[in-house]
Structure 1
Amino acid sequence: MYINGDAELSDTVAEYDLVLANFYADWCGPCQMLAPVVETIAAETSATVAKIDIDTNQQLAAEYGVRGVPTLVLFDDGQLAERLVGMQDEAKLRSVVEAHA
């Protein structure tokens, strides 16, 4: 699910219990390597994955303190629960998500 703007992210976080927000950029190599891992997490866990392009959502990225990409922010019941910066392997990402599931 692609997010464009603060209102869409707020609505998504309010609607779903567990949301993994993936702040990325098309030009970012590690973001491209992380994409299949995030897709697997979306398919195999209870987390809803929200993809946020930092180039088109600079204000939203700044609001969440995104200084480097990829940055993954996990929301649990509407609250920011975890923040991961940089490339993550599937096992690490899965364990973080499942700890909040």
Structure 2
Amino acid sequence: MSDTGDGERQRIREQKKRELRERLENGSVSDTSDVGGQASSPDEPIDIEGSDHFDEVINDHDVVLVDCYADWCGPCQILEPTIETLAAETDAAVATVDVDRHQRLAQQLGARGVPTLVLYADGEPVERMVGAQDCATLERLVEQYA
């Protein structure tokens, strides 16, 4: 990882800390909205519970990285720490879809293999990748749309 990537990651961490501190000081801890009306990105992946929940997440966040995975998938298990890191360190919301539990949704997302990653910006799919990806590649992808 380059120093530039580390500096950008640190900047995002500091920004999230400031936002949380402001919400705590203003007494609005339960409020998850940013000034622009979009929900702030959570620091952990969002487990999608169905099509309606998926639509809600996509509509509530400007940029969403969706990870279609399966528990039995080796590359998915390797990718899991990267997905958690992206949720914690980028401005994007990160959502996970278990393709075994949500087969119809996975089909709608075009997940023919796992892991499949779909990046949404302003409610529209803008990028799709199949296979495990490294953190730097996914960070750059997210930053293009954030």
- TM-score scaled by structure 2? 0.68
Instruction: Name the count of aligned residue pairs.
Output: 101
- Structure showing greater Rg: 2
- TM-score scaled by structure 1? 0.97
- Structure with the higher strand share, 1 or 2: 1
Instruction: Give how far 1:4 is off.
Output: 1.7
Corresponding residue number in structure 2 for 1:98: 143
SS in 1 for 2:110: coil
How far apart in 2 are the matches of 1:27 and 1:69? 10
Q: Among the aligned pairs, what percent are the same residue?
A: 51
Q: How does 1:55-94 map to 2 (within 5 A)?
A: 55-94=100-139
Corresponding residue number in structure 1 for 2:67: 22
How far apart in 2 are the matches of 1:84 and 1:26? 19
Instruction: Give how far 1:64 is off.
Output: 1.3
- Give the alignment's Cα RMSD to 1 decimal: 0.6
SS in 1 for 2:47: coil
Unaligned runs of 5+ in 1: none
Query: Which structure carries more relative contact order (alpha carbon 8 Å, separation 6+)?
Result: 1
